[in-house]
Amino acid sequence: MVKGFSDNEVKSDTEIKEQKKEKKGLAAFLKGKKFTYTLPGKKQINIFGSIVLGLNMILILLVILYLKNQEFHDFVFNVGR
């Protein structure tokens, strides 16, 4: 006798397998597919890094312009309404 179970209460594995639900939608579509992740190359890292740094610099310039130039501040305030 297995510890924690009585002889008449042990269920077979077939009943447990029948209770599993079939996957639907995207999970069913991706079930047979195999995806592999590859690390980005040095060139791709440099391109994305340059884009991120460039956008951050533009954001900083726009914030400085917003704080220092009253006309730009009014323009942003009026467009944001």
Say whether pTM exceeds 0.75: no
The predicted structure's pLDDT at residue 67: 95
- Asked if residue 48 lies in contact with residue 55, where contact means CB atoms within 8 angstroms, the answer is no
Sign of the alpha-carbon torsion through 44, 49, 54, 55? positive
Give the whole-angstrom CA distance, residue 49 versus residue 54: 8
Residue carrying structure tokens 């991706």? 30
pLDDT in tens, 9-47: 555 555 555 556 666 777 777 777 777 778 889 999 999
Half-sphere exposure (Cβ direction) of 34: Cα atoms closer than 13 Å: 0
